[in-house]
Structure 1
């Protein structure tokens, strides 16, 4: 994850040209247009004056946007077009420390955990979420959220309110997403009456930029041997056992991941590698917190017997989407066996569009370049 520890005193356009010259990126007119917008946005953020503590509290309590529209950028585009790459370059180009780049799911896990913390509850704030927004705004002039999405009503109001409060506080926010703001939870009638006013308020201060690149840069790569096995048969199991032994010098054993006050079992654990069945990860009551703990402990993860998914198994599909998001964000080396290839994992039905990002990411995660380098390499995904 990126943080504000080591600012890079170099403009975004210069970083982009350097990446082109080195061959890490390929010329793309649509990406270059977005670079121009992000570069101007970064200059505005750089010129922003810091807030006084009292002034920031008053601003948040009064819910008054402190500036003209333009505190937010919503980078919209299909999967694999380079949204994350551009946002990361933008982040690295900011020559100050008061910034943070984080996957949106992970950020919201932090917010939910903080809202339930004894420290916040004991204070009995009139609006705990406003208190959290104030604390975040004190230390961040810019926040970059990768993969902004609203998946269900239970979290949508909290998600939108924290964005609204941070914009109110004058924080510059960049979000990447595959979904247009008008299409967020569009199939949920209750959502349209409950959250639409919040979305409208937020988008009055956010500019939507569409990255209209034609190519999915994650696809058409050289694939690493045995990174994705079809079918999950005895041969696949034997190959994964061999890879496990190569990664871990210790014998496999059971382990428990500690998530707050609860534990999440890993049936086959080694030094730096976890070997799991799909059902152990996605057919139980697991979520982003469990997957973050998994990725933090194991740089190599094996997932066996991934089935073809469909709308009648959407709870499992949604957990799988979140699992892959977390593993991708952490640069996890993934080995998987499945009934089908990634492109056929969720072939049809409602929510098929939401699965396209997962398929694109799986294509990159089974590539030779992903497996040959530690962490996430500079790619156009």
Structure 2
């Protein structure tokens, strides 16, 4: 899909690197990471699995408050300054949202201990996954739960509505997921969690870094008619529908998704100057993406990065984080590094290593993501010509 006007007018985030987007971006450019072990945050979970946690985020449900995922979403929304004078539609996505609260409620009720379920837990479930917008009258019109592609899937739906003249002029897209016992155990049982640290596209990669966070991106179809703002040029989505968790090894559906986004933007492949890839650090995902990039841009002709070694895999928010990185890369003309070692042995694609890479701001930047169930999304950002 491609529209006349979809300008990016607001970015917000909270991550393991900081409680706002500007701090998170600075951390990515500096090559920082914030890694700890799961048992530090969940003492009853005796696992040394590596995680990327948001410092200081509350994980206990206090009376009248929200769960951790909704708190993260609210912080990102406020950080993006979407409580503006303009009315807007809110779109969101998450992977498992407040699953720990759900487990707590189910365990107590199934054991006949209804009185032990705090009223705040019921309230958190009622409001999940909707982030609290304080006194703002708007609530999400659409909430997507399509595994780790949720946030970028929500972006596709928001863009489609902005192209509809009968809809509003402004949309905010938010995605949030918090660390949870069920999420951590799920990745560990699937054999996807790294034991030594996440190294996307490294030849010796061994898995992902489980993370948490929230991202928010605001689009406006009327702002900045002079084209001075970064725009969402196009987006597309496909589904492998082949395996519940394993990506299609040929990468054909990811490739179809990327090519569709490029085609809908009206650009050629050589007019895409950089890519922010899903890049989980798992053997299967990275291999499939590398094959696709080589087919579309042969001979290492496009610089690629992944931020999951620094932010962790933020699950439902992962794709939207990639979009924020793509927007900021265009604003600054810099693509953050994937790995610290500039001489790291990588797969056969142009991985940005060691330090940020200068990019051509006249070209578009691609942001991709994939999720369980075979969900794939691709979005192109650039300056309107």
Q: TM-score, normalised by structure 2?
A: 0.28
Q: Which has the higher helix share?
A: 1
Larger Rg: 1
Greater relative contact order: 1 or 2 (C-alpha under 8 angstroms, separation 6 or more)? 2
